[in-house]
Structure 1
Amino acid sequence: MEIWLILRALALLAAANGAPVIAKSIFGRRCAWPLDFGARFVDGRPLLGPAKTIRGILLGTLAAAVVAVPLGLDWTTGGLVGMAAMAGDLLSSFVKRRFGLRSSDEAPGLDQVPESLIPLVVCRSLLGLDFAEILLATGLFWAGELVVSHLLYRLGLRDRPY
């Protein structure tokens, strides 16, 4: 098991998933256009919700691409990790809306696993990870995200502690 590979993957995931949160703290609602443009699914609920923005998707992807370079990876690998992480985040939002949960409602596991597992599986060979390392990194991301979310809430960078 290669700890460096896991730490590198976690850094990319943190960049991708943290950039939208930091952008919201800095810019507020400026340029935060909802990705779904307010569309509703056949069940009458929002497709994704107002918290999933074009700005967040772009910055999450860009952040992972930028962080990849000092980690010894090609920026395109980072960009792919970022895009896949954002796709996982969108999937979890879509599922949460189907369950009737609001954008800010907590759903442990559903809020962390898709945005970490999907990019790690998609980019497995580019990151040099085996399946045990993917599972460990996903578990570490889940636990770490819960801790970091509470910290960001205390620092005033998140609206809620999760």
Structure 2
Amino acid sequence: MTNIEPCLICIGRTVMLLLAANGAPVLARRWFKARFSWPVDMGLTLGDGYPLFGYSKTWRGIVIAVIAASLIAPVLGLSAQEGALFGLATMSGDLLASFIKRRRGHAESSRVRGVDTIPESVMPALLLRTQLGLGWLDILAIALIFFLVEIFLSPVLYRLHIKNRPY
């Protein structure tokens, strides 16, 4: 295979890890309600009047994302440690997206297309590019697929009362 040909298995494996890492905090919020939901930013508000990340970014979400990714990684041919790193990178991208949205004046849990999905899909793919067998086009495909999955899956999860918002 050349670097130009996409690795569909590699893309699929990465998308599955993204779904596990991003879905676990949503399920944890449903199961645990407000328990263990300590905000990552501890309520810190910056000079612009907006929180650093916001109340919806919690330590529980980060921990559960890392655990979920580390549990599914061995099923997908990666080590648990690689899965944990993947989950941590995914949540770091999610925090970056929230930071950007707050600096641009968007309310917590608001939707900003692209900003919501690109950092959290690209950061882990770049960090574990070699371990996941990804080329540059694969990473672009992953970002696009994850963007589309979020657009189509979120309304379904909202109707099933799994998500609080239809986006």
Which TM class, normalised by the smaller chain length?
over 0.9
Pairing of 1:1-162 with structure 2 (within 5 A): 1-162=6-167
Question: How many correspondences in the alignment?
Answer: 162
> Which amino acid in 1 is paired with 2:142?
A
TM-score norm. by structure 1 comes to 0.97
Deviation at 1:151, TM superposition (A): 1.0
TM-score norm. by structure 2 comes to 0.95
**Offset from partner CA, 1:14-48 (integer Å, 9 cap, x none):** 11111111101111111101111101112221111
Q: CA RMSD of the aligned region, Å?
A: 0.8
Identity %: 44
- Structure 2 alignment gaps of length 5 or more: 1-5
Distance in 1, matches of 2:124 and 2:75, equals 19
Distance in 1, matches of 2:72 and 2:153, equals 18
Which moves more between the two structures, 96-105 or 127-136? 96-105
**Offset from partner CA, 1:34-91 (integer Å, 9 cap, x none):** 1111011122211110000000011111111111011111111111111100000000
- Structure 1 alignment gaps of length 5 or more: none
